[in-house]
Amino acid sequence: MTASPVAVVDLDLPGPRISRHLYGHFAEHLGRCIYEGFWVGEDSEIENVEGIRADVVEALRALKIPNLRWPGGCFADEYHWMDGIGPREQRPRMVNTHWGDVVENNHFGTHEFMRLCELLDTEPYISANVGSGTVRETSEWVEYLTRGGEAPMSELRRRNGRQDPWQVKFLGIGNEPWGCGGGMSAEQYVALARQHATYARNHGQNKLCRIAAGAADDDYGWTETLMKHVTRGLGDTSPQDIYQAISFHYYTFAGTWADKGKAADFTREEHWTTMRKAQRVREIIAGHCAVMDAYDPTRKVGLALDEWGTWWNVEEGTNPGFLHQQNTMRDALVAAVHFEAFHDYAERLRLANIAQTVNVLQAMVLTDGPQLVLTPSYHVFEMSTGHHDAQRLDVRFAPGQEPVREVDGETINTLSLTASTKDDQLTLTAANLDPDAAQQVTVSLRGRTIGQLQGRILTAGDVADHNSAEAPERVAPQPYRHAQLQHTPAGQQLTLQLPPASYLSLTGDLHDHLQPQA
């Protein structure tokens, strides 16, 4: 057991709100995410609701998914939405050139996706086609989705079985335009983005948050170009934001883009390199925030990390274009590292989307025919729902006490710790990133008192452990009964014992200090 570091949390000084949308998800037409994942069809022997797989919906509802991004990803910029409406047997087929070069039948389209969002009780995040689509296509899709009355697209929607418009909050203006979304320069893209965003109208009571497709990793120049053009003049009126948020993408892997490393067969050195690269997301968020602050000091425009997660070499014997990978305790720890960074930049970071929800990359659930397996990443998301829309509580370590180690010539943290408060309840989550050594941490709680604690812990025999159909609960949350809470002159002191490679979630009611009796 290493020496116990000390962290301080002022319970009476809540900070910015942690948007629930930082815990968003992503469903692309990629591999078996949509077909065989979410969609099995109404004639399937697998239980379904109007073709949507029932056990997947049931599992995901426990995550309280705040938003779901669709149809891509790279797929979005070759997807023409009108091919996915109307009677399914009459819909044209298309080739998914990005992901496996497979032909799909467009049976899962706008109506099916919006029904999925209703079943999940989540906000749809629609990605418009900028790479190969038209401004008119974007405009008419928004009208089809959100406009009532007698408009042409409203009438078309009614003929296809939906009387009332849907509510759509998030609209992505393309995806990765510097790469699969068109191979554009930032200047080329921003001109198109302004056109698409201009004609993506707010209809009736529906108000869009238009999200400009942003940078890869730390391309801060791309963000600066977007920020230079974020507003337009409206004659004698005040300038108006043409888009309300800017995105970027960042993936974590141990190796290189050509050889990312294996998902479940890795060395301790590869584990620590993965933790180092995961923690780099904090630096990259800070860099984009700094650029945006220079142009938007009041932080009207949001930052969105709408693709993140681990990306490993595909599992042997699977289609390399389907991006199917196993999901271990290491992936869960990567998620924990990201959550802490998201909370710390909640003033600017408004939305994030794990890639992806089912059967692809860092998935929440894996399906194989009628079987469904919950991954370690699923459990970390479920254990963190107390942070949704809560107010951040700053966590600070005493000087020189933050647990660190050297990895690849850099200093990284070996412990992730974050806290929040909502409705007089504390949520505290902690991750021990060390795969071999337990850690103890002491948290000094000040300003308010906490009542009885309830906790669960996710851990494994080894950081490479994962769940399977044969062992579906090898990595699953267990009750945690090792929290030691003591009163001190300064408040309360919480001592936590964290096993190797573990994630802890604690909750407890907060109370004001009792007034001394006269």
Helix (H, G, I), strand (E, B) or coil at 386: helix
Please give the single-letter amino acid code of residue 434: D
Strand-pair partners of 455: 506
Helix (H, G, I), strand (E, B) or coil at 88: helix
Q: What is the pLDDT of residue 238?
A: 52
Longest CA–CA separation in the chain, Å: 81
Confidence of residue 473 (pLDDT cuts 50, 70, 90): very high
Specify burial of residue 47 (Cβ count, 10 A radius: 0-12, 13-18, 19+): exposed
Q: What is the pLDDT of residue 288?
A: 98
Please give the Cα distance from 431 to 434 (Å, whole number): 9
- In angstroms, what CA-CA distances link 51 with 46, 56, 158, 364? 9, 12, 20, 20
- Say what percent of the chain tops pLDDT 90: 93
Q: What is the pLDDT of residue 240?
A: 73
Tell whether the model's pLDDT for residue 517 goes beyond 60: no
Please give the Cα distance from 359 to 354 (Å, whole number): 13
User: Among candidates 328, 335, 338, 330, which has minimal Cα distance to 373?
Assistant: 328
List domains and CATH numbers for the chain. Answer: 6-12+391-511 (2.60.40.1180), 20-387 (3.20.20.80)
Cβ atoms of 73 and 125 closer than 8 Å: no
Please give the Cα distance from 140 to 167 (Å, whole number): 15
Tell whether the model's pLDDT for residue 466 goes beyond 60: yes
Total length of the chain: 518
Other beta carbons within 10 Å of 238? 7
Q: Which long-range contacts (CB under 8 A, 24 or more apart) does 45-51 make?
A: 45/370, 46/369, 46/370, 49/119, 50/112, 50/115, 51/107, 51/108, 51/112
Please give the single-letter amino acid code of residue 77: D
Q: SS3 sequence, 414-465? A: CEEEEEEEECCEEEEEEEECCCCCCEEEEEEEECCEEEEEEEEEECCCCCCC
Please give the single-letter amino acid code of residue 102: V
Q: What is the pLDDT of residue 159?
A: 97
**Which two three-digit tokens encode residue 510?**
């907060």
Q: What is the pLDDT of residue 489?
A: 84
Q: What is the pLDDT of residue 518?
A: 37
Q: What is the pLDDT of residue 399?
A: 81
Tell whether the model's pLDDT for residue 515 goes beyond 50: no
Please give the Cα distance from 419 to 427 (Å, whole number): 6
Please give the Cα distance from 489 to 93 (Å, whole number): 70
Confidence of residue 398 (pLDDT cuts 50, 70, 90): confident
Cβ atoms of 510 and 11 closer than 8 Å: yes
- In angstroms, what CA-CA distances link 13 with 339, 424, 444? 20, 12, 14
Q: What is the pLDDT of residue 395?
A: 96
pTM: 0.96
- Say what percent of the chain tops pLDDT 70: 97
Q: What is the pLDDT of residue 425?
A: 97
Q: What average pLDDT does this structure show over 230-243?
A: 68
Q: What average pLDDT does this structure show over 203-215?
A: 96
Confidence of residue 516 (pLDDT cuts 50, 70, 90): very low
Confidence of residue 3 (pLDDT cuts 50, 70, 90): low
Radius of gyration of the chain (CA): 23
Cis peptide bond N-terminal to 73, omega within 30: yes
Residue 51 gets the label, from left (phi > 0), alpha (psi -120 to 50) or beta, of left
> What would the DSSP string read from start to end of 119-134?
HHT-EEEEEE--SSS-
Please give the Cα distance from 238 to 513 (Å, whole number): 48
Q: Which residues, other chains included, contact 143 with Cβ-Cβ below 8 Å and sequence gap of 6+? A: 151, 152, 153, 154, 201, 203
Specify burial of residue 380 (Cβ count, 10 A radius: 0-12, 13-18, 19+): buried
Cβ atoms of 272 and 354 closer than 8 Å: no
Q: What is the pLDDT of residue 129?
A: 98
**Which two three-digit tokens encode residue 57?**
């919906």
Say which residue, 58 or 236, is predicted with more confidence: 58
> What would the DSSP string read from start to end of 61-80?
HTTT--EEEES-SGGGGG--
Q: What average pLDDT does this structure show over 339-362?
A: 98
Q: What is the pLDDT of residue 239?
A: 62
Q: What is the pLDDT of residue 208?
A: 97
**Residues tagged active-site:** 176, 307
**Which helix (H) or strand (E) is 409 found in, with range?**
none
Q: What average pLDDT does this structure show over 139-167?
A: 97
Please give the Cα distance from 27 to 306 (Å, whole number): 11
Confidence of residue 93 (pLDDT cuts 50, 70, 90): very high
Question: What is the overall mean pLDDT for the chain?
Answer: 95
Strand-pair partners of 187: none
Least confident among 4-18, 101-115, 236-250: 236-250
Cβ atoms of 60 and 382 closer than 8 Å: no
pLDDT for 301-327, tens place per residue?
999 999 999 999 999 999 999 999 999
Cis peptide bond N-terminal to 371, omega within 30: no
Q: What average pLDDT does this structure show over 23-50?
A: 98
Please give the Cα distance from 214 to 246 (Å, whole number): 6
Please give the Cα distance from 452 to 442 (Å, whole number): 17
Q: What is the pLDDT of residue 173?
A: 98
